[in-house]
A = this chain, B = another copy of it.
Amino acid sequence: MASVEDGALIWTRPEPGTRRPKFTRDQLAAAALAIADAEGFAAVSMRRIAADLGAGTMTLYHYVRTKDELVALMDDAIMAEVLIPPGELPPGWYDGLTAIATRTWDVLMRHPWAPHHLRNAPTGPNAMRHFEQSLAAVAGTGLDAPSRFALLGMVDDYVQGSALRADEARSGGEPTADTAAARFAQAQIATGDYPHIQALFSGADDPATVWSHLTGGVSGRDRFQRGLSALLHGAATRMNLTLPDR
Contact = CB atoms under 8 A, between A and B. Distances in A.
Interface of A: 4-5, 7-9, 11-12, 116, 119-120, 122-123, 125, 128-129, 131-132, 135-136, 139, 145-150, 153-154, 156-162, 164-165, 168, 172, 179-181, 183-185, 187-188, 193-197, 199-200, 213-216, 218, 223, 226-227, 229-235, 237-238
A224 to B, nearest CB: 8
A146 B214 contact: yes
5 contacts: A12-B183, A123-B185, A145-B199, A150-B227, A153-B165
A179 to B, nearest CB: 6
Given A135-B197, A185-B128, A237-B233, A157 B149 contact: no
B119 A11 contact: no
Contact of A122 (B149, B181, B193): B181
A238 B229 contact: yes
A234 B231 CA distance: 6
A194 B128 contact: yes
A196 B149 contact: no
A173 to B, nearest CB: 9
A36 B94 CA distance: 41
B5 A179 contact: yes
B165 A223 contact: no
A237 to B, nearest CB: 6
Given A161-B158, A197-B131, A230 B226 contact: no
Contacts of A172: 4-5
Contacts of A12: 180, 183-184, 187
A196 B125 CA distance: 15
Contact of A188 (B128, B185, B197): B128
Given A128-B194, A136-B196, A180-B7, A149 B234 contact: no
B116 A119 contact: yes
Q: Which 10 A-B pairs have the closest CB atoms?
A: A234-B234, A161-B161, A157-B161, A135-B196, A230-B234, A146-B216, A154-B227, A160-B161, A233-B234, A230-B235
